[in-house]
Structure 1
Amino acid sequence: MLKVRVLDHPYIQVVLTTLRDKNIRQIEFRKAMVRLGRAMGFEITRDLELERVEVETPLGVKTEGVRFKDMDKVVIITVLRAGMPMTEGLIKIFYNARQGVVSARRVEEKGMRADKTFDVEITYVRLPKISNEDTVIIVDPMLATGSTIREVLKIVLSKSRPRKVFVVGAIATPLAIDRVREVVEEYNLDATIYTAAVDLTVNEKGYIVPGLGDAGDRAFGE
């Protein structure tokens, strides 16, 4: 089953507005994407299971508290290169996460097909061992046509069957959400998309409108 959570926290929406602004410089964009990843990480922890623990304070008094039960069973997979700044922010929250990378790009030279999909070129895959007790977080800032994230999901699922899959992006479209749902239903996954906004339109080049442009180019240069 696929769930979609649009994170409407005021701080997240302020950072998103900064990212949408065409006038901010490259370094400002990259730093804002890091901030977005960190803030979204806080929100994502709401869906992690807690367990009760007892600790002793410096005053020698025992008191009860909580900790995340599965914080040590998180794998973050970054879609290169656009996902790198968001991952930097997420790692500040999921500090024990194991990491993997997939280098993927839409083959824009061939253009978008009539069904609004692209060929996707995968040039590098490096994943840690993933168990059926792990939660996998896949980071791709722009879920536009869903072509890239669908291929990345299939690569991950061809090698493993994690307990949960979280897809994290700055902006998603209904089209991309539907294509993720197709994979989720095919593999019978427990999956959630976390995004700061759902923009309704994809233009003829496959870019989200209003969107924020090409996240990789804006963060690292063309």
Structure 2
Amino acid sequence: MPLFVLSKPITLHFLTQLRSKNTDQITFRKTLVRLGRIIGYEILNMLDYNIVEVETPLGAKAKGVYIYDLENIVIISILRAATPLVEGLLKALPTARLGVIAASRKETQVNLGYPKEMEVEIFYNKIPEINIKDNVIIADPMIATASTMLKALNIIKDKKPKRIFIVSVIISEYGLKRILESYPDVNIITVSIDPELDSRGYILPGLGDAGDRAFG
């Protein structure tokens, strides 16, 4: 399974800050940026590279690594909630090209259980040209029913990139299952897999609405 759960103490520390209802707007937004940077460095370790030789200022030769895939990265931000997360990703991956997908979902209350599918409208997207050499990162901090992410994947998959990474802070078990059933070869990077959804399709325990908490 191409799933990477970043459950180290530092990422869990930041996740705990995000979950707390007492975390203020500025701290919440800055914490998303920090997590984005950490996730970006994790992605760097998964990219293709060459072994190279360089000459040091002392005239000695040293073998090293050149990650040539750094030149082949496209980050797609799911607006608006992913903006701070993408800011952090760009600190680790500064040469990335950036695209956006703007989506809105119609919240539905169900009497029992949770909505299996959310009604999502993608009303704007602006994506750079993508080719077979590119590594595409789709960022959305919260993946609940995965309805928005599946629509985004439908757009990106047709462009046939080299790899697709889905980056989130929290993904629900249900959303994860839906993505892997439809796109088993996509790499998923998250900090936590949360077990439940509520009757409106929000993740439990979750952290609330990431966009509202980051931007007020």
Q: Same fold (TM over 0.5)?
A: yes
- Equivalent in the alignment of 1:133: 133
Mapped contact 2:115–2:201 kept (Cα < 8 A): no
- Residues 54 and 64, structure 1, Cα contact 8 Å, conserved in 2: yes
Q: Distance in 1 between matches of 2:84 and 2:115?
A: 31
**Which residue number in structure 2 is paired with residue 211 of structure 1?**
206
* Residue 74 of structure 2: aligned partner: 75
Cα displacement (A) at 1:50: 2.6
1:119 alignment partner in structure 2: 119
State the partner residue of 2:106: 107
Q: Is 2:2 the partner of 1:7?
A: no
| In structure 1, distance between residues paired with 2:203 and 2:210 | 11
Give the corresponding residue for 1:47.
46
Alignment partner for residue 194 of structure 2, among 182, 196, 199? 199
Distance in 2 (CA, whole Å) between partners of 1:165 and 1:181 is: 13
Structure 2 unmatched runs, 5+: none
Contact 2:5 2:190 in 1 (8 A): yes
What's the counterpart of residue 152 of structure 1?
A: 152
Structure 2 CA distance for partners of 1:83 and 1:135, relative to 1, 3 Å: same
Query: What SS class does the counterpart of residue 47 from structure 1 fall into?
Result: coil
Q: For residue 191 of structure 1, report the CA deviation from its aligned partner.
A: 1.4
C-alpha contact 2:114 2:200 (8 A) present in aligned 1: no
User: Aligned letter for 1:205?
Assistant: R
Distance across 2 between alignment mates of 1:90 and 1:114: 32
Cα 1:41/1:206, change in 2 over 3 Å:
same
Alignment coverage as a number of residue pairs: 214
**Secondary structure at the residue paired with 1:90?**
helix
Structure 1: stretches of 5+ with no match in the other structure:
none
Partner AA of 2:119 in structure 1 = D
1:167-191, Cα deviation, whole Å (9 max, x unpaired)? 0000011111111123315xxxx31
Query: Could you list the per-position Cα deviations for residues 12-57 of structure 1 after superposition, in whole angstroms to 9, with x for gaps in the alignment?
Result: 1111111111101101100000001001112222211231111111
Percent identity between matched residues is 46
* Residues 114 and 209 of structure 1, relative CA distance in 2, 3 Å threshold: closer
SS in 2 for 1:15: helix
Report the Cα distance in structure 2 between the residues aligned to 1:11 and 1:114, rounded to whole angstroms: 32
CA distance in 1, matches of 2:31, 2:164: 25
Give the TM-score normalised by structure 2.
Answer: 0.94
CA distance in 2, matches of 1:174, 1:88: 26
Pairwise CA distance, 1:68 = 1.0
Describe the shift of the 1:136–1:57 C-alpha distance in structure 2 as closer, same or farther (beyond 3 A).
Answer: same
The alpha carbon displacement at 1:137 in A equals 0.3
Q: Which moved more, 1:171-180 or 1:55-64?
A: 55-64
Deviation, 1:199, is 0.4
Shift of 1:3: 1.2
Contact kept in structure 2, 1:111 and 1:118, CA below 8 Å: no
Q: TM-score, normalised by structure 1?
A: 0.92
> Any conservation in 2 of the 1:40–1:90 contact (CA below 8 Å)?
yes
CA contact (8 A) 2:114 2:201 kept: no
